[in-house]
Amino acid sequence: MKPFAALAQAGRTARLRRLALGALASYDLPVVSIRPLSTHFNAVFRVDTAAGERAVLRVNRPGNRSLVDVRSELVWVDALARDTDLTVPAPIRTRDGALATTVAIPGVPEPRHCALFRWINGRGVADRPFPRLLFALGAAMARLHDHAGGFAPPPGFTTRRLDAAWTFGRPARLYDDGPDDIFTSEHRAILRAGAARVEAVLADLYADPAELRFLHGDLHLGNVKATPAGLAILDFDDCTWGYPVQDVGVSLFYLEYHPAYHDLRAAFTRGYESVRPWPEAREGQVDACIAARWFDLISLVCSSGDPSDADYLPGLLAKGSRSWRRGSNGEIAFLCGDGSRGMGRG
């Protein structure tokens, strides 16, 4: 049998579909068909039932999240569905009452953690970054933060925290001055200095435990749907302990190069402040947390055991090279949007 890593995307998807069918055997669900929705990172499948209902099965990528992490995510989403009127993909329990299941099949080298969610009807808005949508996104995030502030995790809950610039480990080749096909000397200088500045801001944040809470970790327009009841919040797969300002930084990261960046950022801020106070305790924290997402993604790609992930690295470095500049005094500054705002000194 051909190794999984050597397969083209279609071959990988076919094997993961067989694994998904194995996972669905743990549920009391009369499955008629399953079809892939995304295999970009996790594998996500639409599930159609004999009763005409739909669900979504997520097959987690191995190595990035433990079963404890996945179960903790689902406990919080279950609480959000129960305690609030936010529209979230409520998890469906297995026949035995578990929130997740782990499945292994021949041809897929590692066991995969799987979770099943109720389907949410709505339309994607990733290509429609209008101010009114960013206002709604900011308000939705603030409501998540309010709920998380009163959320009491049960025993055995994850302790994973977003407290380092290099979330998945510091790339060794970045701190090695030898020749490299990807990391130029300028990349290395900018990344090392930038990571040190982000680490300093994070250290300042984590010195005060008062605002630490469970976060969505990846809330942007690609992870919501527009519904008659408002924005539905999807994809809680990056849930982690952190600070509200870090969640804000992730959202704004994905708007950074939009021509209307500052208008969209202002709309997001107004939406958030319509629910709760803006979480930036010191000037520059938000911009530092925007930058932190860049380091997070570079760390993820560099730590991946999947060779195809290396294809993302040049694009990430090009994006970062447009965001970070060396000033006349030699300091590294982070530039947001059109470059009119800096990271500040935290």
Classify residue 250: in a domain, yes or no: yes
Same domain, 48 and 194: no
Residues 181 and 223 in one domain: yes
Range of the domain at 84: 4-119
| Mean pLDDT for the chain overall | 90
CATH number at residue 303: 3.90.1200.10
Q: How much is the average pLDDT of 77-84?
A: 97
CA distance 125 to 174: 36
Q: Does residue 27 belong to any structural domain of this protein?
A: yes
Q: How many whole angstroms separate alpha carbon 50 and alpha carbon 48?
A: 7
pLDDT at 346 over 60: no
Q: What are phi and psi of 198, to 5 degrees?
A: -65, -45
DSSP output for 267-331: HHHHHHHTTS-----STTHHHHHHHHHHHHHHHHHHH-S-GGGGGGHHHHHHHHHHHEEE-TTS-
Residue 21 tokens read as: 């069918």
Cα dihedral 187/190/196/197 (nearest 10)? -140
Distance, in Å, from the CA atom of 66 to the CA atom of 15, rounded to the nearest integer, reads 21
What's the domain count of the chain?
Answer: 2
Note whether 114 and 155 are same-domain residues.
Answer: no
pLDDT over 70, % of the chain: 92
Lowest-pLDDT range, 29-33, 73-77, 133-137, 189-193?
Answer: 189-193
Is 210 part of a structural domain of the chain? yes
Is 344 inside any structural domain?
A: no
Stretch 78-103: mean pLDDT: 97
Whether residue 189 is predicted with pLDDT greater than 90 in this model: the reply is: no
End position of a domain, from candidates 67, 92, 119: 119
φ and ψ at residue 331, rounded to 5 degrees:
-75, 155
Classify residue 340: in a domain, yes or no. no
Strands (E), 120-178: 123-124
User: Based on the domain organization, do 177 and 304 belong to the same domain?
Assistant: yes
Within this chain, do residues 89 and 152 fall inside the same structural domain, yes or no? no
Lowest mean pLDDT across 91-105, 143-157, 286-300, 304-318: 304-318
Is 238 found in the same domain as 171? yes
Q: Tens digits of per-residue pLDDT, 292-302?
A: 999 999 999 88
Helix (H) or strand (E) holding 36: strand 31-38
CATH number of the structural domain spanning residue 27: 3.30.200.20
**Is residue 94 within 8 Å of residue 101, measured between CB atoms?**
yes
